[in-house]
């Protein structure tokens, strides 16, 4: 207990908050646990985003949740009273489609996931099968049962899927194991996620784990903590990594994402990570700043605005 207490990360002081606001030109925010919990915006977030914009800070929203496309997230932001541009949103559904587009992918994709992935693939002109269309398909395992699969599938994309079933797992397994060169792509490997504000739910890591188990293959991960989205953002802005901050509620994805990219990192305790986990002797990921919640930055609004 003494060791854990001695290594405790204190909440950022007002001086440290001002330091963060002064040094950073672009803030990248995780969404679940930072901007909202389930379908409820965290109190004070709209005012915080308004403050940052008034200081001429760039803001981006990066989420590992692949159930929605960027257009779908636009609707969610608007429903919560948040004014966000489509180009400021980077979802892992978009990252999967952008990754395939970047390598000039021409075959079909089999999707374990929801409409967000399909919509982003459509926007890139990438053919796909599976997804919600396979939600009700069943395997009976009668004697001699044999499942056919599309031999033109060149990639399996696994995203969060509330309707994952054995049919989808088997189909994905066949594509990866039997189609030469078939890629295995994961939108993320999050263990849990905030689908509602009432509790944590099993995340996409559980779906990805099923395919890892059946294929003995590790996926290419396009969401956090992979740097694919970060490279896209930094290249579009022409900023150095030290001019960008990653703000998130997860040590193993958000903060690791920032650390891997050389960014400033700020952990908020309004989502997945608790003070006990942060300060555990077993934790090896240490953020540069710790906030109870994002709107804590409002406590230095007057001083920060004077410095602009």
Chain centre distance of CA 155? 20
Task: Tell me which residue of 89, 110, 223, 126 sits closest to 164, measured CA to CA.
Answer: 110
Neighbouring C-beta atoms of residue 104, cutoff 10 Å: 6
**Continuous segment of H or E residues that includes residue 89:** strand 89-91
Whether residue 32 is annotated as binding a ligand: the answer is yes
Whether residue 152 is annotated as binding a ligand: the answer is no
Hey, what are 114's tokens? 């929801």
Hey, what are 296's tokens? 């804590």
**Those residues with Cβ within 8 angstroms of residue 211's Cβ, 6 or more apart along the chain or in another chain:** 112, 156, 158, 169, 172, 173, 176, 184, 217, 219
Q: Given the structure tokens 């001083």, which residue do they identify?
A: 303
Neighbouring C-beta atoms of residue 196, cutoff 10 Å: 12
Give the Å distances, CA to CA, from 65 to 128, 160, 200: 19, 7, 14
Does the annotation mark 30 as catalytic? Answer: yes
Whether residue 39 is annotated as binding a ligand: the answer is no
Does the annotation mark 32 as catalytic? Answer: yes
Is the Cβ–Cβ distance between 150 and 111 less than 8 Å?
no
Neighbouring C-beta atoms of residue 102, cutoff 10 Å: 11
Calpha distance 39→76 (Å, rounded)? 8
Whether residue 249 is annotated as binding a ligand: the answer is yes
Binding-site annotation, residues for Mg(2+): 30, 32, 249
Binding-site annotation, residues: 30, 32, 224, 249
Q: Give catalytic residue positions.
A: 30, 32
């Amino acid at each position: 207990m003494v060791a854990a207490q001695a290594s405790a990360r204190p909440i950022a002081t007002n001086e440290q908050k001002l330091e963060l606001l002064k040094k950073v030109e672009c803030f990248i925010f995780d969404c679940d646990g930072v901007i909202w919990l389930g379908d409820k915006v965290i109190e004070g977030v709209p005012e915080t985003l308004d403050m940052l914009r008034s200081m001429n800070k760039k803001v981006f929203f990066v989420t590992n949740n692949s159930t929605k496309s960027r257009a779908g997230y636009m609707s969610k932001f608007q429903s919560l009273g948040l004014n966000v541009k489509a180009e400021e949103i980077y979802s892992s559904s978009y990252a999967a489609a952008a990754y395939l587009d970047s390598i000039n992918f021409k075959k079909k994709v089999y999707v374990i996931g929801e409409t967000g992935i399909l919509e982003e693939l459509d926007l890139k002109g990438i053919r796909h099968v599976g997804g919600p269309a396979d939600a009700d398909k069943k395997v009976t395992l009668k004697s001699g049962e044999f499942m056919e699969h599309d031999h033109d599938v060149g990639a399996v994309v696994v995203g969060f899927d509330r309707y994952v079933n054995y049919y989808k797992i088997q189909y994905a397994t066949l594509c990866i194991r039997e189609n030469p060169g078939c890629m295995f792509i994961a939108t993320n490997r999050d263990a849990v996620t905030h689908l509602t504000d009432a509790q944590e739910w099993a995340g996409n890591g559980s779906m990805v784990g099923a395919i890892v188990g059946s294929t003995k293959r590790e996926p290419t991960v396009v969401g956090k903590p992979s740097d694919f989205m970060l490279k896209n953002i930094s290249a579009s802005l022409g900023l150095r990594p030290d001019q960008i901050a990653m703000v998130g509620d997860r040590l193993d994805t958000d903060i690791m994402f920032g650390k891997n990219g050389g960014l400033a990192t700020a952990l908020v305790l309004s989502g997945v990570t608790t003070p006990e986990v942060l300060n555990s002797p077993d934790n090896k990921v240490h953020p540069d700043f710790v906030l109870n919640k994002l709107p804590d930055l409002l406590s230095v609004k007057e001083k920060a605005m004077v410095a602009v």
